[in-house]
Amino acid sequence: MVESVQPKFARQELVKDAAYINGKWVKESDATFEVTDPASGEVIATLPDQDVSAVDEAIDAAYEAFGSFKKTTGRQRAVWLRKMYELMTEHAEDLGKLLSWENGKSLAEGVGEIKYAASFYEWYAEEAPRVNGTTINSAVPGNRVFTQRQPVGVCGIICPWNFPSAMITRKAGAALAAGCTVVLKPDSQTPLSALALAHVAEKAGVPPGVFNVVLSHTHTPEFGLRLCESPKVKKVSFTGSTAVGKILMKQSASTLKKLSFELGGNAPLIVFEDADLDKAVNEAIACKFRGLGQTCVCANRLYVQKSIIDKFTAMFSEKVNKFVIGHGLKEGVTHGCLINPDAIKKVEAHAKDAIDKGAKVVVKGGRLPELGPSFYSPTVLTNVPQDADVTKQETFGPLCAIVPFETAEEVVKWANDTNVGLAAYLFSKNVDTIYTVSEALETGMVSCNTGVFSECAVPFGGVKESGFGREGSLHGVEDYTVIKSTVIGGLPERL
């Protein structure tokens, strides 16, 4: 088994064992749940397993706080957001250790996520003073028309385990910039990062009730239901599976609240024969195996033109064989473990299906029981047929399926043959190919000649059953506002 690793924190106060409601740390609960290190299985924290009354308390606090917070200026909110960015940057190493400890990803990836997460607070600090309306010329001579963007209200935020910090800041940063208050429900597998961000908000001086974190393992579905059905909550933002997104959408119908969903993906990565092969391989590695494939935008299907598929596969596999897998907090480890043993089952099922249908094993990979039940060495398959399950379903793990294609028309058809559309990647030196193929792909985002495109300036979101709404960028605040139109009539003729 992998040896136990106990991280040392320069700021131990970042590690919390209580929920955060209305500016207070709340431990009272009839039950508790344990947070474990997915690499070693050791318990690293025991937290209150709150019941639904905690959600009601947090919603009431956020609703009360909204009455005053919405009246603050964008410039004042920018000060709080900027301070949160500075605190996250100052404590990036500690926050990265905490994230890696509860999530299993390598420390380098953990610290990288913290810096990425902090950038959203910086971005929205700059956007907060610029939440502006418009003036509109009326067809009626005596009328004047203008609009205002006003905060939507209390926002319920439900976040996943795979990016336990970045998914929070990307949502909460926009909400706070707009003047909204939030009730956050983190995944029970990775709640410590959320609580650390609550500590950051507290230290930054964010007013009580504006940023709330509720905790539960046993009652997670009830928490989601309460956020969706509460008339005091005006918006719900969720990142997770398409199946859960559909449930939340149904539950929100009773109050017709505003929604933004970032749901499942099945990203194609297309490599044309004229691509810079070294670059394509390096970028595909970074894209496919970030978080060991446990990301919504990682390449799930690698389509490589037949004329170069053998060379690409050889170069790709050589790099995979150099991975160092182990506890994410150990020095020299490039890739950690999966979130839990169950995550391996889908990887194995998709690999077996593809092999049974004729795929060739290039890197066998497989379980690493000597390290622990959540460790899996990446598998690389080539000549995967288009009818394999891995081309139709998101694997969310370290299986690389390389599919040969011949023409642009063929690969675009295959890439679009799915009910989701979050991200896609393509590699080519031909600007005609880049433009026409990217335009034809049915996804919310297309990344050309780079495998890692996410940054705070890029609008993030999908189409089809990958959801709706955009996070980050100049558009990110829009989903947390409503447009009010004001018409002044009966004015005298223009002088």
Confidence of residue 368 (pLDDT cuts 50, 70, 90): very high
User: Is residue 410 one of the residues assigned to a domain?
Assistant: yes
Give the mean pLDDT of 426-453: 98
User: Is residue 489 one of the residues assigned to a domain?
Assistant: no
* Domain match, 149 and 273 both: no
* Domain match, 189 and 41 both: yes
Residue 481 pLDDT > 90: yes
SS3 319: helix
Strand partners, 136: 145
* Domain match, 385 and 371 both: yes
Confidence of residue 13 (pLDDT cuts 50, 70, 90): very high
User: Is residue 357 one of the residues assigned to a domain?
Assistant: yes
* Domain match, 322 and 372 both: yes
Residue with tokens 């190919």: 433
What pLDDT score does 493 carry?
81
User: Is residue 375 one of the residues assigned to a domain?
Assistant: yes
* Domain match, 368 and 231 both: no
What pLDDT score does 433 carry?
98
Count Cβ atoms below 10 Å from residue 394 Cβ, excluding itself: 23
Residue type, 24: K
Give the length of the chain.
Answer: 495
Whether 42 is a known active-site residue: answer no
Give the mean pLDDT of 413-439: 98
Confidence of residue 271 (pLDDT cuts 50, 70, 90): very high
* Domain match, 217 and 294 both: no
Confidence of residue 61 (pLDDT cuts 50, 70, 90): very high
Q: What is the DSSP letter of 18?
A: S
CA distance 201 to 87: 9
What pLDDT score does 1 carry?
66
Give the mean pLDDT of 6-33: 97
* Domain match, 174 and 217 both: yes
Question: Which residues have a Cβ under 8 Å from the Cβ of 491 and sit 6 or more positions away?
Answer: 142, 143, 144
User: Is residue 167 one of the residues assigned to a domain?
Assistant: yes
CA distance 157 to 186: 8
* Domain match, 180 and 317 both: no
- DSSP per-residue string spanning 81-122: HHHHHHHHHHTHHHHHHHHHHHH---HHHHHHHHHHHHHHHH
* Domain match, 218 and 337 both: no
pLDDT in tens, 280-321: 999 999 999 999 999 999 999 999 999 999 999 999 999 999
Confidence of residue 167 (pLDDT cuts 50, 70, 90): very high
Residue 7 pLDDT > 70: yes
| Contact (Cβ atoms closer than 8 angstroms) between residue 234 and residue 257 | yes
* Domain match, 25 and 173 both: yes
* Domain match, 317 and 181 both: no
Query: Which stretches does DSSP call E strand in 279-389?
Result: 299-305, 360-363, 366-367, 376-377, 379-382
Residue 113 pLDDT > 80: yes
Provide the residue range defining the domain that includes 188: 12-263+468-482
Catalytic residue among 57, 102, 122, 262: 262
Confidence of residue 494 (pLDDT cuts 50, 70, 90): confident
Burial (CB count within 10 angstroms: exposed 0-12, middle 13-18, buried 19+), residue 332: exposed
Mean pLDDT of the chain: 97
Question: In Å, how far are 56, 65, 154, 278, 422 from 22, measured between CA atoms?
Answer: 12, 8, 13, 52, 35
Q: What is the CATH number of the domain that holds 422?
A: 3.40.309.10
User: Is residue 146 one of the residues assigned to a domain?
Assistant: yes
Extract the tokens encoding 34. Answer: 């344990």
What pLDDT score does 446 carry?
98
User: Is residue 191 one of the residues assigned to a domain?
Assistant: yes
Question: Which residues have a Cβ under 8 Å from the Cβ of 253 and sit 6 or more positions away?
Answer: none
Give the mean pLDDT of 241-270: 97
What pLDDT score does 163 carry?
98
Give the mean pLDDT of 154-170: 98
Q: What is the CATH number of the domain that holds 145?
A: 3.40.605.10
Residue 376 pLDDT > 80: yes
- pTM of the full structure: 0.97
* Domain match, 23 and 138 both: yes
What pLDDT score does 378 carry?
98
Domain count, the chain: 2
User: Is residue 492 one of the residues assigned to a domain?
Assistant: no
pLDDT in tens, 331-348: 999 999 999 999 999 999
